[in-house]
Amino acid sequence: MHHTLVALVEDKPGVLNRVASLFRRRNFNIESLTVGRTAEPGISRMTIVIDSDQASAERVTAYLYKLVNVLQVEDLGAVPAVARDLALVKVAVAGHDRAALLRVVDETRAHIVDSGEQTMTLEITGEPPHVDSVISRLEPLGIIEMVRTGQVAMRRGDTALSAAQYS
């Protein structure tokens, strides 16, 4: 089962390395890891997706809290959450494939962000299963290159994860 952990951390050199090392030392596989700024200066937000059972996710959360630069951690697996992923996919387009590709674009809310004589690059955003689904539809057309950002997520509704108390 996938668990999406969100950690607010101090925006300092070495924090990402310490978090990644914790997962390596404890032999947990990170499926996705994204890091970015928050609205609060000096605070970054990490979204970490792991494939583990509930007990292991709780252990990882406890381990994260022991790291000095980690301010707050939440497992979004137990609460309603919004998750998004972004992929850029370069697809081969030979004559008849172009029409098939445009059909996929129209049906899946993908966006063409670059076009060449032999390829088109698409931007696909949405919940991870949606991105996976669009990529599987593109595979028969010939994926030349692909990159994914990894998942970002936050709670639904009015509750927010905030490090204001640590500033």
Residue ranges of domains in the chain, CATH in brackets:
2-78 (3.30.70.260), 82-152 (3.30.70.1150)
What are 70's two structure tokens? 């980690």
What are 144's two structure tokens? 């030349």
What are 24's two structure tokens? 């390596």
> Please, how many CA atoms are within 13 Å of residue 15, restricted to the half-sphere of its CB?
21
Task: Tell me the per-residue pLDDT of 97-116, one tens digit each, with 9 for 90 and over.
Answer: 788 899 999 999 999 999 99
Q: Is the pLDDT of residue 95 over 80?
A: no
Q: How far is CA 85 from the centre of its chain?
A: 5
At 78 the pLDDT is 80
Task: Tell me the per-residue pLDDT of 120-163, one tens digit each, with 9 for 90 and over.
Answer: 999 999 999 999 999 999 999 999 999 999 999 999 999 888 76
For residues 152 and 146, give the distance between their C-alpha atoms in angstroms, rounded to a whole number: 18
Question: Which DSSP symbol is given to 108?
Answer: H
Cβ-contact 153, 83 below 8 angstroms: yes
What are phi and psi for residue 120, nearest 5 degrees?
-130, 140
Task: Tell me the per-residue pLDDT of 23-32, one tens digit each, with 9 for 90 and over.
Answer: 988 888 899 9
- Tokens 């972004």 locate to 86
For residues 14 and 87, give the distance between their C-alpha atoms in angstroms, rounded to a whole number: 27
Q: Is the pLDDT of residue 166 over 60?
A: no
At 164 the pLDDT is 63
Region 30-50: what's the mean pLDDT? Answer: 94
